[in-house]
């Protein structure tokens, strides 16, 4: 599912991403070296070979248990021509996308005119700014920083990115100016994975439940440390215990007995909400119906992992098989990522294959892409296929982070609104590179104001 948001998203509409720290400063003051220091890696991002693209943009950082994202603005290429204007433009973008800013100067050089121009912009923004005097490799340089007070950003913080001098203190200081990260909800020790079994009437839901509950499988009513809702069932598939949610309805066949479609559909959506992964049952011997499509949409919109099971495979002959494949291609092309299994609840054919498919889908559902890797992907994508120019301007993706999992949610921080088609393109490429089989993913845009 792709949500297209033309403006800043209200924070509670998406998982709030980790707070963002932007590192701003003239070339060669040591921003990349400092970023490497902050993210705890020495590896050389510092390679000033002309013509070599520096894929330094955004990275995950962590200090005393708090996560934040570090953005190296040296990777941005604002459309300004001269050097001073470029740094000012970077500073401006930083103030609009970051929660706090590290303004880095060369402590051995002191403040330059270019620094002063950038600082004006930073101070106007009202965002917290920390002045860092880098290359303070020894006490001599450190003693000589008084002139930097003149920038009006308060006391300069001396560090040596190269040698690591003061970098722990700097990290403490950074945490003090960043907003608290979104609380990470501690998951209780996990019991069995929750599965919803949905499908139109007569597709074979209760038959499948019966099949799964047979052969001593029903004996798993009691799993240590779990409380299972009385309307749920525990079943064993492929050696693993799964919790099928709201199977009471299937056992008692309420849906059909009461005959109200409305009630059945409410119950279905509640089951989908309660589940982590949903098995949508299709009737392989009949055409894919509108009701099937509605169920698929409910699952993707709820953001649940998905497995499609084509039931009654024992009734499928070569002829039907041929047409079914055509139908799947045509009718289900919006979810090419969904896992599919061909089963028979009657004979038990391939019923055990449901478990591997659910495991794959749940893995994707919980997958997290490291920020560095994600931004290398974004850089390559933007270079290979930049966003089209719109009324004389070219919106750019400045950086991206993964804001959450279950399902994976990505936020693109951009310099302007993106076409919906381009957002879909990013989503498609994300899947090409990272996969996510069996799980929906969400891509949202945070365009700067």
Which residues of this chain interact with ligand GDP, rule CB under 6 A? Answer: 25, 27-33, 46, 74, 134-135, 137, 160-162, 199, 201-207, 250, 311-312, 314-315, 344-346
Reduced to 3 states (helix: H, G, I; strand: E, B; else coil), residue 44 is coil
Does residue 42 contact residue 73 with C-beta atoms inside 8 Å?
A: no
395 labeled part of a ligand binding site: no
Closest separation between CB of residue 312 and ligand GDP, Å? 4
75 annotated among ligand-binding-site residues: yes
333 is in an annotated binding site: no
Which CB, 104 or 418, lies closer to ligand GDP? 104
Q: Which of 159, 162, 158 is nearest to 146 (CA)?
A: 158
Q: Least Å distance between CB 330 and ligand GDP?
A: 24
Output 109 or 406, the one with its CB closest to ligand GDP: 109
CA-to-CA distance for 207 and 202, rounded, in angstroms? 9
To ligand GDP, the closest distance from the beta carbon of 205 in angstroms equals 3
Instruction: Establish whether 28 is an annotated binding residue.
Output: yes
Q: Is 311 annotated as a binding residue?
A: yes
Residue 117 vs 405, nearer CB to ligand GDP: 117
Whose Cβ is closer to ligand GDP: residue 108's or residue 448's? 108
* 413, two tokens: 């921080």
Phi, psi of 160 (to 5 degrees): -125, 105
227 in a known ligand binding site: no
Strand, helix or coil for residue 414:
strand
DSSP secondary structure letter of residue 113: H
3-class secondary structure per residue, 193-208: EEEEEECCCCCCHHHH
- Distances, alpha carbon 59 to alpha carbons 73, 152, 399, 423, in Å: 12, 29, 10, 22
Nearest CA among 100, 73, 70 for reference residue 178: 100
Whole-number minimum distance, CB 284 to ligand GDP, in Å? 8
Nearest distance, CB of residue 137 and ligand GDP, angstroms = 5
210 is in an annotated binding site: no
If the CB atoms of residues 48 and 222 are measured against ligand GDP, the closer one turns out to be 48
Please state whether 228 falls in left (phi above 0), alpha (psi between -120 and 50) or beta. Answer: beta
Residue numbers belonging to the annotated binding site for GTP: 25-32, 72-76, 134-137, 199-206, 246-250, 311-314
List binding-site positions.
25-32, 72-76, 134-137, 199-206, 246-250, 311-314
């Amino acid at each position: 599912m792709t949500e297209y948001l033309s403006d800043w998203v209200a924070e509670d509409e998406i998982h709030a991403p980790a707070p963002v720290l932007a590192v701003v400063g003239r070339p060669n003051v040591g921003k990349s070296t400092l970023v490497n220091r902050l993210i705890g890696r020495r590896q050389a991002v510092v390679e000033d070979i002309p013509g070599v693209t520096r894929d330094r943009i955004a990275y995950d950082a962590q200090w005393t248990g708090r996560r934040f994202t570090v953005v190296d603005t040296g990777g941005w290429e604002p459309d300004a021509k001269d050097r001073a204007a470029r740094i000012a433009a970077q500073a401006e973008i930083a103030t609009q996308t970051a929660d706090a800013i590290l303004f880095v100067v060369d402590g051995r050089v002191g403040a330059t005119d270019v620094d002063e121009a950038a600082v004006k912009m930073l101070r106007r923004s009202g965002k917290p700014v920390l002045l860092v005097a880098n290359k303070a490799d020894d006490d001599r340089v450190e003693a000589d920083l008084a002139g930097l007070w003149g920038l009006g950003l308060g006391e300069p913080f001396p560090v040596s990115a190269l040698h690591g001098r003061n970098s722990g203190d700097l990290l403490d200081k950074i945490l003090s100016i960043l907003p608290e990260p979104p609380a990470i909800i501690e998951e209780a020790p996990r019991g069995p994975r929750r599965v919803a079994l949905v499908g139109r009437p007569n597709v074979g839901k209760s038959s499948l439940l019966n099949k799964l509950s047979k052969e001593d499988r029903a004996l798993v009513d009691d799993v240590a440390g779990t409380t299972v809702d009385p309307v749920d069932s525990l079943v064993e598939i492929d050696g693993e215990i799964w919790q099928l949610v709201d199977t009471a309805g299937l056992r008692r066949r309420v849906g059909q007995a009461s005959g109200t479609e409305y009630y059945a559909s409410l119950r279905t959506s509640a089951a989908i909400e309660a589940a982590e992964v949903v098995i949508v049952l299709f009737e392989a011997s009949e055409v894919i119906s509108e009701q099937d499509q509605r169920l698929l949409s409910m699952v993707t919109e709820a953001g649940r992992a998905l497995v499609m099971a084509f039931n009654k495979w024992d009734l499928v002959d070569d002829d039907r098989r041929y047409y079914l494949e055509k139908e799947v291609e045509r009718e289900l092309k919006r979810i090419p990522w969904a896992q599919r299994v061909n089963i028979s609840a009657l004979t038990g054919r391939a019923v055990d294959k449901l478990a591997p498919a659910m495991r794959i889908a749940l893995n994707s559902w919980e997958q997290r892409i490291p920020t560095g890797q994600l931004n290398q992907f974004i850089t390559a994508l933007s270079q290979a296929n930049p966003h089209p120019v719109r009324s004389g301007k070219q919106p750019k993706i400045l950086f991206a982070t993964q804001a959450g999992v279950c399902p994976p949610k990505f936020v693109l921080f951009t310099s302007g609104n993106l076409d919906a088609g381009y957002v879909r393109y990013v989503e498609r490429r994300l899947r090409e590179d990272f996969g996510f089989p069996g799980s929906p993913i969400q891509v949202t845009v945070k365009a700067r104001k």
